[in-house]
Amino acid sequence: MAAVVLREHGGPEVLRHEMLPLPVPGPGQVRIAIRAVALNHLDLWVRRGGPAFHLEYPHRLGSDIVGVVDAIGPGVTGISVGQKAVVQPGLSCGRCAACLSGHDNLCRHYRILGENAQGGYAQHLVIPEANLAPYPERLDFPSAAASILPFLTAWQMVVHKAQVAPGDVVLVQAAGSGVGVAAIQICKLFGARVITTSRSADKLARAKALGADEGIDTSKEDLVAACRALTGKRGVDAVIEHLGGAAFTACLKAVRSGGKIVTCGATTGHSPELDLRHVFFRQLQILGSTMGSKADLLAVLSHLAAGRLNPVVHSVLPLSQAVEAHRLLEAGEVFGKVVLTP
């Protein structure tokens, strides 16, 4: 099968086109003929390298995968060859207390496809039967791929961590990002008022078309002053944040006393200045979040199938142009998702 692989860390140029052996599903596994795989910033982080990544080379990136089942291993039941499917990107043991309580993304053995397990930058992928999820039939393959990891991540952040309720005012950072696009829609689904941010007037306009109530152009406006002005000096109830750096520091002052900051990333820096006095005097809650459970993905897919949530695709490129896709995402001009089609 054709694939794009890493054999070393570095810039986009380290992505290589190779032919790899076609994988054969073992007991309890299925093989997916991949139709689309969407990019995430996780792809960029893994490609660049770091101490958290323990890769088996050649390594394939790609977490957001959809396709068609084309082979079934021994013991698999209820799955048919030719069936369209969404791939749940989180791998877990399925036996521990975390998995059995529905919190599989807290499993000690949790891995993410494309991160510390082989991903979808290829024509085929073998996965456990448990990682197949229903396909939202109203969506084409690129749109379905664009809806997996960011909506799953945003669902846990908004629903379980921030516990957004009708009437809440929520600040969603980075309107054009995958998580931003998803979080805006999920917050509106739960009746919140949404303030979002970008350094692009065009992205803010597109975010409002998705349901955001107000936008802050952080290239021209101070985030804290703008949030206070929009909330009568009270501050927002919750922040959905994945920028890190100075943006995270500003969130400490933009959120109301007793409010919540939920973070799932650090795209602009992982060591923000943190004045603990803001945290304990104002009784703030800072909550970390990674991915979501398999049950969360099923909830997301039901809303996607019904049209209550909608993925946004920025562009679709062939897998052979993975280098160009990485450069496009790194340039920061993307609104929504970049998708590759093998």
For residue 315, give every residue at least 6 positions away whose Cβ sits within 8 Å of its Cβ, in sequence order, or none: 328, 334, 338, 339
Residue 267 vs residue 231, higher pLDDT: 231
What residue spans define the domains of the chain?
2-146+311-341, 151-288
Q: Do domains 2-146+311-341 and 151-288 have the same CATH topology?
A: yes
| Structure token digits, residue 4 | 């794009």
**Cα separation, 248 vs 217, whole angstroms:** 16
Provide the pairing of β-strand 29-38 with 124-128: antiparallel
**Cα separation, 83 vs 124, whole angstroms:** 14
Can you name the CATH fold of 2-146+311-341?
Quinone Oxidoreductase; Chain A, domain 1 (3.90.180)
Count Cα neighbours of 193 within 13 Å in the Cβ-side half-sphere.
10
With a cut of 90, say whether residue 173 has pLDDT above it.
yes
| Structure token digits, residue 188 | 């509106």
Cα-based distances in Å from 200 to 217, 221, 269, 332? 7, 12, 20, 10
pLDDT tens, position by position, 284-332:
999 999 999 999 999 999 999 999 999 999 999 999 999 999 999 999 8
pLDDT tens, position by position, 8-54:
999 999 999 999 999 999 999 999 999 999 999 999 999 999 888 88
With a cut of 90, say whether residue 68 has pLDDT above it.
yes
Q: What rounded mean pLDDT belongs to the chain?
A: 96
Can you name the CATH fold of 151-288?
Quinone Oxidoreductase; Chain A, domain 1 (3.90.180)
**Cα separation, 60 vs 219, whole angstroms:** 36
Q: What is the pTM assigned to this prediction?
A: 0.95
Q: Which amino acid is at 91?
A: L
CB 300 within 8 A of CB 306: no
